[in-house]
Amino acid sequence: MKLSKQIISILIISMLVIAIGSLSVACLPTTTTGDGTTTEGTTAGGTETQEVTGWQAIFANYGTWIWLAILVVAFYFLLIRPQRVRTKKAQEMMSSLQRGDEVVTIGGFHGRIKDIREDVLIITIASGIDVKVNKSAVSKKAVQQ
pLDDT digits (tens, 9 = 90+) for 12-65: 888 887 777 776 665 555 566 666 666 555 545 555 556 767 777 777 777 788
* CA–centroid distance for 43 within its chain: 40
Verify that 11 and 37 share a domain, yes or no.
Answer: yes
**Could you tell me if 50 and 111 lie in one domain?**
no
State how many domains the chain has: 2
Q: Which domain holds residue 116?
A: 102-141
Is 42 in the same domain as 90?
yes
Distance (Å) of CA 81 to CA 8, 74, 84, 95: 16, 10, 5, 21
Residues 16 and 79 in one domain: yes
Question: What pTM does this model have?
Answer: 0.53
Is 39 in the same domain as 88?
yes
